[in-house]
Amino acid sequence: MSKNVFVCARVRPPLKDEDPNDTCVQINEADRTIAVRDRQGFATDKQYSFSAVFPQKASQRHIFESVGRTAVETAFEGHHSAIIAYGQTNSGKTYTLANKGSTDKEDGLLQRCVKELFETVNKNPGLYRVTMSYTQIYNEVLSDLLTGEAPTSKTVSLTIREDAEGNVFVPGLTTVDVCSAGDVTHYVDCGNKIRMVALTNMNAESSRSHVVVTLHLHRTNTASAAPEGRLLLVDLAGSERIKKSRVQGVRKQEAQCINASLACLGNVVHALAEGSPHVPYRDCKITRLLQDAFKRGRTNLVVTVGPSSSDFHETNSTLTFGMRAMKIKQLPMGRGSTDAPFEEGVDTSLCASTASAAEFSRLQSGNEEMAARLREEDDLIQHLGAALREADDEIRVLHREIAVSKAEAMDAAEAARNQLLLHQDVVKQLLRDRERDHTELEALKKHLQQLTAERDGLLEAIQLDQITKTTRSHTKTDGVSAAFVNKENAPPRPSPNQKKNSHPMASKAPLGPIVNLSLNSRNSPLQFIEL
Ligand code: ADP
Ligand code: MG
């Protein structure tokens, strides 16, 4: 028998809505490793190694040969044997563990294991009796899936106890005889009908509960010393990032419960890996049910991951969980727990003492009472512990949310400040431009005034010159009497005021041909047009 915790990882193929090229996992079957990289493909790839790795193309048969067959053998050897599917919602746990395909090719581990189990049972007629039970843990309430009645919010949790040999058992749980693989699948189908399945944003059939199918292999040949073997098939509810699945209300509470119980499982695995003297099996129901398989049986952990880069974080945390389980050292297999709870133990030194039988029985009943009280207190502590952990988780989520909001607010403030500084610079530049334009405008105005004055002066001079020339030419050509040039008849000279304000041509005095002076532009030559 090899290590009693066998860990393998399976990567499911991309789903219809996933891009097959956008993958974050790379499998190396030869050295049984999986490398995970994010979208940027950083050089600091994380590498995880396992007892076995199954790529997307791995068949259901392949998984059975690697995991299922040994699990069945372990049960026939009289040990507790468990196959646990662990992974993010939608990563392929149920498909791996209990898929019922349209053809045998698609069948999951459950179908294949029971087929194998009954082949061996049928080869040994009269040697084995097989019974089964089917349980669900929903919101830390353990319920029976073979009663035919769906659990409700009022369902009271079944309790988990340990027998004298330290084996866990559930008093009052329905156990049915099964004689074939068909019987098992029939009961599983009945249980599935009442299993809690709800819609979430993550997976249209997301399982909101952990479910455990337990097959008990009883030896009918009493002469055999081999004890009862068990095969547990555990389909865990998927871990879930509450923000990503956007669940609310009851669904959020379910998700918190699922995450808390998976954290407990992580603590158990951690304690076993560290060789810690105390393993917190009692912290939640699922670890308590799996206690025997971990303690002295054989556990097969199948961690399932999706290939998509969008599942990068979940894939990392699932594979980290698997790697931690890989560190669990070989534990002693077989019956006889060394750490059975003291209530089951009887102090034999008392028997050997001189106390009377009555005294012994009084002390024993007192011992039993105290054990019962301790169990009650233990349940209460577990309950309080679960509530505390839940509150703790919530606080951690809130802290993370606050930190994210703070960072976002700081980023927004920084961006606004930068924007403001940018605007201030622009405004300053605009003011500077305006001032410069203003100065230029003033200079231009002055220049224009100068030019206007010059133009007026020039116009006046030209007009006078023109008048003089015209007068002279009239005198010459027409022999006009000198009277015309007589000062009294001469056109009046403009007064100093007129010079400035009125056009000299506006004078009513008769002039020679009227001359229109046109000034097109400051620099253009004056044009004289005779009308
Ligand atoms: P989970 O139980 O982890 O929430 P499921 O087992 O329901 O996830 O798988 C999610 C989807 O992926 C299902 O549609 C299932 O048929 C498909 N799927 C999972 N694993 C495989 C696989 N190895 N090959 C083909 N389809 C798979
Ligand atoms: Mg599932």
Ligand 1, residue 56: give the atom nearest the CA: 23
Shortest-distance Cα residue to atom 19 of ligand 1: 92
Q: What is the pLDDT of residue 198?
A: 46
Place of tokens 């927004």: 412
Q: What is the pLDDT of residue 451?
A: 95
Q: What is the pLDDT of residue 255?
A: 82
Q: What is the pLDDT of residue 146?
A: 95
DSSP single-letter state for residue 281? G
The domains of the chain are located at 3-343, 394-475+512-531
Q: Locate the DSSP E strands across 262-337.
A: 298-305
Q: What is the pLDDT of residue 383?
A: 65
SS3 for 64-125 is HHHHHHHHHHHHHCCCEEEEEEEEECCCCHHHHHHCCCCCHHHCCHHHHHHHHHHHHHHHCC
Which residues surround ligand 1 with Cβ inside 6 Å?
Answer: 12-13, 15, 87, 89-95, 203, 206-207, 238, 304
Q: What is the pLDDT of residue 391?
A: 72
Instruction: For ligand 1, pick from 27, 90, 207, 244 the residue to mutate: most ligand atoms within 8 Å of CB.
Output: 90
Name the closest ligand to CA 88: 1
> Residues within 5 Å of ion ligand 2 by Cβ?
93-94, 207
**Distance (Å) from CA 98 to ligand 2 centroid:** 9
Instruction: For ligand 1, pick from 25, 89, 90, 95 the residue to mutate: most ligand atoms within 8 Å of CB.
Output: 95
CA distance 411 to 455: 65
**Distance (Å) from CA 393 to ligand 1 centroid:** 28
Shortest-distance Cα residue to atom 20 of ligand 1: 92
Q: Which fold has domain 3-343?
A: Kinesin (3.40.850)
Q: What is the pLDDT of residue 135?
A: 96
pLDDT by 10-residue block (mean), the chain, 531 residues: 80 93 90 86 72 95 95 93 94 94 91 97 93 94 90 86 87 96 95 69 65 94 71 90 64 83 92 91 94 90 94 91 87 47 30 48 69 71 68 64 69 87 93 94 95 94 92 72 48 51 46 44 45 39
State the Cα angle at 304 between 301 and 310, rounded to 5°: 150
Q: Which amino acid is at 307?
A: P
